[in-house]
Amino acid sequence: MAINKSQSPAWVKIVIWVVALSFVASGIGFVVSAGLGSGGTPDSGTATGDATVGIDQQYQPAADAAYAAAQAAPDNPDLLTEAGHRYFEWAVGLYESGQPGAAVPYWLTAVNFYDKALAIRPDDPVVLGNKAFALYYAASPEAEPALRAFIEGDSANTTGQLDTARQMLTDLTGGASVPTTGTP
* CATH number of the domain where residue 107 is located: 1.25.40
> Cα separation of 129 and 17, whole Å?
15
Q: Which of 65, 130, 46 is nearest to 92 (CA)?
A: 130
Residues of the chain with pLDDT under 50: 1-2, 15, 17-41, 43-48, 182-184
Residue 152: what pLDDT?
87
Report the number of distinct structural domains present in the chain: 1
For residue 155, what pLDDT is reported?
Answer: 64
pTM of the model: 0.69
Decide if 37 is inside a domain. yes
Q: Is position 112 within any domain?
A: yes
Residue 76 lies in a domain: yes
pLDDT per residue as tens digits for the range 117-141: 999 999 898 999 999 999 999 999 9
158, part of any domain: no
pLDDT of residue 137: 97
Q: Domain for residue 111, yes or no?
A: yes
48-75 confidence digits (pLDDT tens): 456 677 899 999 999 999 999 999 999 9
| Full DSSP string of 128-177 | HHHHHHHHHHTT-TTHHHHHHHHHHH-TT--SS-HHHHHHHHHHHHTTTT
Residue 87's domain spans which residues?
7-138
Task: Decide if 90 is inside a domain.
Answer: yes
**What is the model's pLDDT at position 162?**
85
In a domain, 35, yes or no: yes
